[in-house]
Amino acid sequence: MAIFSSIAKVGSRPVLRWGLIGLGLCGLVAIWYFADRLLVDRQPIVVGILHSETGPMAVSECSMIDAEVLALEQINAAGGLLGRPVRWVIADGESDWPTFAREADRLIHEEQVSVIFGCYTSASRKSVLPVIEDADHLLVYPMAYEGLETSPQVIYTGAAPNQQITPAVQWCHSELAARRFWLIGSDYIWPHCVNEIIKDQIAGLGATTLGEAYVPFGSTDLDDFVEEIATSKPDVVLCSVVGDSALAFFKSLRKAGIDPHEIPVVAFAVAEDELRHINHADMVGHYAAWNYFQSIDREENRRFVAGFKDRFGDDRVTSDVISAAYNSVNLWANAVRETGNTDVQQVRNAIRHQSLNAPEGIIAVDPETQHTWRPVYLAKIRSDGQFDIVWTSGVAVRPVPYPITRSRSAWATLVEDFHRSWGGWANTATSLPPVQAAREAN
């Protein structure tokens, strides 16, 4: 009888009801599981990184790649974006402007990237710009530059002229009592435009431009330029020479016996990362103007420096372009989180309103210009390859891409005239081919 009673209880309605409920719940879980796999996109988000891994600009750009990779690795370690991992494709611009343009086109149309973080020189950016605009895509450009440009398809995370160039000139006039300036730069669009901005400011200060010279892009033979400077004896030299040429310039200065206490140089394209490749003695006592230095005393910066060294080695250093590259990825990632998707146009609109507590301080994208508010720093080069900060704006400075010394149309005409006269964005009549430039550098 006990056996028959147990069978009866199993077959009772409550037991059957709970069994059906259990089966129903299992079915719902199965439906949710398969729907999640079918309807939710779990594919990696693909981004492009476009910098020079080879050629004379590799000395400055390879570390930008490292910074962008570090930021992406940290994003993936925290779970990715929108539940998806991020995958990156690195393209080598080879320090060659047409190559930059071709690689940007490949990243967009073949690799199907959601964004491109890239370029260093303005010649590379100017070459890439038509590709980005034709595809209605997104370039995040992490380098200080000459301004005189805005594009709906570009977010500029480096400095505009009023966040690097003009504060440095004013500081030289006020603190170094400089009245006689010498300008030297590489022979392409950025230094030429920067020096036009500087000359306007020097004239407004009642000071004098003693000389202006341009180094063939990629050249490391600068002795003749240094001889001119030594003969002129300016109060200060403003240097927009880039890459391997910049390192060679300071080496020539030291060889010529030019003392930074007598003729100091303020560099706009030399930072900690370039210094680690040369004898620091060549540059001790000279200055640089940037929006970030590794020596900034902030907890956020200490964490950033420690993370970079942990990933790439204790011998590595951080610099302005490294910080700007790192910030670029995080600004974009915040925009992706806000929009909930990777649609280029939606992310582009969202990134215009992003801000960060960055290593250098609070930064924010200016929605009107799509340039970034950043603090400004001037610093003196130390014997250990680091910098002692001698002046800071203290707070982030609003970007002004077009200086008020000329009309916007006048600046546009200047840029167009350079482009037309050179047949491109660099003076190819003086520039060395990438292979020859690399050979000189070695």
Domain 163-295+401-441 sits in CATH 3.40.50.2300: yes
Q: What phi and psi values does residue 411 have, to the nearest 5 degrees?
A: -65, -40
Cα(119)–Cα(57) distance, rounded to whole angstroms?
Answer: 10
- Judge whether 213 and 240 are in contact, CB under 8 Å: no
Cα(366)–Cα(198) distance, rounded to whole angstroms?
Answer: 24
Domains 45-160+296-373 and 163-295+401-441 share a fold: yes
Reported CATH class of domain 45-160+296-373: alpha beta
Degrees, nearest 5: CA angle 144-67-98: 60
- Judge whether 405 and 197 are in contact, CB under 8 Å: yes
Nearest Cα residue to 100 out of 79, 126, 82: 126
E-strand ranges in 103-179 read 116-118, 139-141, 154-156
pTM score: 0.87
> Mind listing the pLDDT tens digit of every residue in the chain (442 residues)?
444 444 444 445 555 565 566 666 656 555 554 544 444 557 999 999 999 999 989 988 999 999 999 999 999 999 999 999 999 999 999 999 999 999 999 999 999 999 999 999 999 999 999 999 999 999 999 999 999 999 999 999 999 999 999 999 999 999 999 999 999 999 999 999 999 999 999 999 999 999 999 999 889 999 999 999 999 999 999 999 998 899 899 999 999 999 999 999 999 999 999 898 777 788 999 999 999 999 999 999 999 999 999 999 999 999 999 999 999 999 999 999 999 999 999 999 999 999 999 999 999 999 999 999 999 999 999 999 999 999 999 999 999 999 999 999 999 999 999 999 999 999 988 654 443 333 333 3
For the chain, domain boundaries: 2-39, 45-160+296-373, 163-295+401-441
